Amino acid sequence: MTCSEFLALLDDLIDDSVPPEARAELQLHLRGCEHCEVTLNTTRKTIEIYRSHEIYDLPPGLRERLHAAIMARCKKGC
């Protein structure tokens, strides 16, 4: 397996949806290619960091204000 072929399956690997027949070949490539191992690990980490950190917070005060405005208009039939 080449690095390009590995890269084409990177998303499937991250999303745990690799076809069973490709799994062994991917693992074999990973064991011998540091480049692809780093790419896989740091791409996984990228996703994890974006998932676990709130970068656009909705502060409680603003949330309540927007919520009240939405519900007031819904009650009036918008």
Partner 1 sequence: MSTIQPIAGELEPHPDVALVDRVRGGDVSAYDELVRKYDRQIFRIAQHITQNREDAEDVMQDAFLKAYQKLDQFQGNSKFYTWLVRIAVNESLMRLRKRRTGKMVSIDEDVETEEGSVPRDLADWAPDPEQNYGQAELAEILRKTIQGLPQGFRIVFVLRDVEGLSTEETAETLGLSMPAVKSRLLRARLQLRERLSRYFRKKKGSRRNEG
- The reply on whether position 31 binds partner 1 by CB under 8 A is no
Q: Alpha-carbon distance 26 to 16, whole Å?
A: 12
Any contact of residue 1 with partner 1 (CB under 8 A)?
Answer: no
Q: Does 16 bind partner 1 (CB under 8 A)?
A: no
CA distance 47 to 32: 24
Judged by CB under 8 A, does residue 7 bind partner 1?
yes
Q: Is 41 in the site for partner 1 (CB under 8 A)?
A: yes
Burial class (CB in 10 A: 0-12, 13-18, 19+), 26: buried
**46 close to 78: Cβ distance less than 8 angstroms:** no
Tell me which of 23, 24, 27, 69 binds partner 1, using CB under 8 A.
69
- Residues interacting with partner 1, by CB under 8 A? 4, 7, 10-11, 14, 35, 38-39, 41-43, 45-47, 49-51, 53-56, 58, 62-63, 66-67, 69-71, 73-75, 78
